[in-house]
Amino acid sequence: MRSKNRTRILLVTAISVTALLTLGFLVGGQEKKDFKLTKNLDIYISLFRELNAFYVDEIDPEKLVHRSINSMLSTLDPYTVFYPEEDTGDLDFMTTGKYGGFGSLIRKSGDYIVVTNVYKGFPADKSGIRPGDLMISIDGISLKGVTTDKASDMLKGEPGTEAEIVIRRNGEDIPKKLKRERIAISAVPYYGMVDENTGYIRFTNFTQNCIAEVREALIDLKDKQGAEDLILDLRSNPGGLVNEAVEIVNLFVKPGQEVVSTRGRAKQYDAVFRTNKSPVAPDMPVVVLINRGSASASEIVAGALQDLDRGVIVGERSFGKGLVQVARPLSYKAQVKMTTAKYYIPSGRCIQAVDFSHRNEDGSVGMIPDSLTRIFRTRNGRPVKDGGGIIPDVTVPSDMLNRFATELYVQNMIFDFATGYYWSHPQPSTPDSLNITDSDLEQFREFLTDRKFTYKTDSENIYDELARVAREEGLYDENREALEKLKSGLSHTLERELTLFRSDVTELIESELAGRYFYDWGMVQYSVSRDTQIKEAVNIAGNPARYASLLKAPAGS
């Protein structure tokens, strides 16, 4: 009965909306277009009425409507998303970086939920919960078989409310009583000096008031630690609020400079954003790091600094998301995050990928033919192209893991080994003093053997395909000896892989442990001196002649 009542409410609301839309559109003089809209709304409502009355099984009207909404929006772009009332907290977190909870990250591990990260100073950390702990129950409700999303919902709540969580550590169940707090994830997990002259800021999201953290880090590096140049690391920063992006650019650029403009179908979303404050570091050399995960507001910052010839961009082509989203309220406290305009940076380039349908597996912009791109000019006259994303001034590929190390990471072997190591070894003095020894690697080998770790190399996968085709073509038996010899030569052993890829495996374990002992800042600090892209950025920032030459227009351009 409740389901049918909710259906009637939905139908009455939809019919009322249809009537209002019809009246408004007719008055507007767009009868033909409006007739198509009202006609199809009427068809939708009548279809829903028929399903509710005559479908063989009871239907859930809310579930059905939400699915139809999501299917409709999926035909537009990936960033226009519907949020029912119960999910609007996710939208708030995206814009503010804040939520009510305990300050931890989780994922599924077997039947239960495992803690993968703990943010320093928040309830989970203060109660002694650590990465690797299994969550067994929340307020007496077992988490066995519960999905990660459901467990996350159970952990979140109003600040000040309490919960009792039972964790399992080294086979022992331990009850923990925690009080939820307003969790605000830092936008700057780490900053520091990478050498005697170069400062470094790791900047991870453009949430509300993130400018305060970046400004504080910049002032500390420049005025207290003696930084003469700066690396701003925007790699894998998914973006966020455009106003914060403008503020970040304003740290390095004088007032009155255009940073970005937005243009859309509805003129109310057309705007020009300019710097309006005195900069903190107007003359400091700046190198910006980007990669395929740098999107939206990250691309505005990198692109504006490039177009204004205010910084050198290093790394890989950015994601290619130049679409503006605005959260608009709907009935019953639902919301829609809707694409309303596109971003244009000072040279006139649009960040959005021109070929939206052909992207890399991670969603970033793929290869764009020159025929689909146009050339623009920076303030100094340097040629820059559109087509999607920001192309670095100096391209440096990301450090890639080999297949063996990747499988160790993906199958959580590094994570699980680090859990045991953490509880059996004292804390080192600094992240850089971590030292995985030959004895530790032997223990890791034994750990992998006990866990029956296995994977196939690319060579082994190619061999399997060759053998399959040979059998299909009747060639396997007459070439059995050669094929078996080839198989033997391509087969890997655990001992061989650990010896061959010792350096990569060691760094993965030490990096994970840096995060365990020293939180997020420790993991970043550990990686700084070992990162190929950061090394190149340091070389550019510390070489005034090279830095200046990269910002000059090429001869004859």
Model confidence pLDDT, tens digit, residues 469-527: 999 999 999 999 999 999 999 988 999 999 999 999 999 999 999 999 999 999 999 99
Query: Which class for 449: exposed (0-12), middle (13-18), buried (19 or more C-beta within 10 A)?
Result: exposed
- Which residue out of 321, 364, 511, 531 is catalytically annotated? 321
pLDDT of residue 437: 96
Q: Is 439 a catalytic residue?
A: no
CB 122 within 8 A of CB 98: no
pLDDT of residue 330: 87
74-91: average pLDDT = 79
The span from the CA of 338 to the CA of 513, in Å, is 41
- Which residue out of 152, 296, 511, 527 is catalytically annotated? 296
CB 295 within 8 A of CB 282: no
pLDDT in tens, 337-355: 888 889 999 999 998 876 6
Task: Let me know how long the chain is.
Answer: 557
pLDDT of residue 7: 40
Strand partners, 199: 193, 230
pLDDT in tens, 203-226: 999 988 999 999 999 999 999 999
Structure confidence at residue 62 as a pLDDT band (50, 70, 90): confident
pLDDT of residue 353: 79
Whether domain 98-184 has CATH 2.30.42.10: yes
Whether the CA torsion 237, 238, 240, 242 is positive or negative: it is positive
Q: Is 321 a catalytic residue?
A: yes
How many C-beta neighbours within 10 Å does residue 187 have?
Answer: 24
pLDDT of residue 474: 95
Nearest to 283 by CA among 222, 325, 369: 222
Nearest to 151 by CA among 114, 176, 125: 114
Whether domain 190-398+539-550 has CATH 2.40.50.100: no
The string of DSSP letters for 83-136 reads E-GGGHHHHHHHHHSEEEE-SEEEEEETTEEEEEEE-TTSHHHHTT--TTPEEE
**pLDDT above 70 for 24:** no
Lookup: tokens for 222? 């420049």
Structure confidence at residue 63 as a pLDDT band (50, 70, 90): confident
pLDDT in tens, 132-172: 999 999 999 999 999 999 999 899 988 999 999 999 999 99
The span from the CA of 434 to the CA of 421, in Å, is 12
More confident residue, 250 or 35: 250
Label the pairing between strands 271-274 and 258-263: antiparallel
More confident residue, 33 or 505: 505
3-state secondary structure of 333: helix
Sequence ranges of the domains in the chain: 2-75, 98-184, 190-398+539-550, 403-520
The span from the CA of 300 to the CA of 239, in Å, is 9
189-208: average pLDDT = 96
The span from the CA of 160 to the CA of 374, in Å, is 54
What burial letters (b/e) apply to 215-254, b meaning 16+ CB within 10 Å?
bebbeebbeeeebebbbbbbbbbbbbbbebbbbbbbbbbe
pLDDT in tens, 281-300: 999 999 999 999 999 999 99
**pLDDT above 60 for 22:** no
More confident residue, 164 or 97: 164
More confident residue, 553 or 4: 553
Structure confidence at residue 240 as a pLDDT band (50, 70, 90): confident
The span from the CA of 80 to the CA of 325, in Å, is 7
**pLDDT above 90 for 371:** no
429-454: average pLDDT = 96
Q: Which residues contact 22 (CB under 8 A, 6 or more apart)?
A: 34, 38
pLDDT in tens, 35-53: 888 888 888 889 888 888 8
Weakest mean pLDDT among 79-83, 237-241, 473-477: 79-83
Structure confidence at residue 20 as a pLDDT band (50, 70, 90): very low
Q: Is 371 a catalytic residue?
A: no
Q: 31-54 and 2-28 helices cross at what angle (nearest 10)? A: 170
60-86: average pLDDT = 86
What burial letters (b/e) apply to 308-341, b meaning 16+ CB within 10 Å?
bbbbbbbbbbbbbbbbbbeeeeeeeebbbbbbbb
Q: 438-450 and 502-528 helices cross at what angle (nearest 10)? A: 110
Mean pLDDT value across the chain: 89
pLDDT of residue 93: 60
The span from the CA of 84 to the CA of 335, in Å, is 6
How many C-beta neighbours within 10 Å does residue 279 have?
Answer: 18
Nearest to 437 by CA among 522, 506, 495: 506
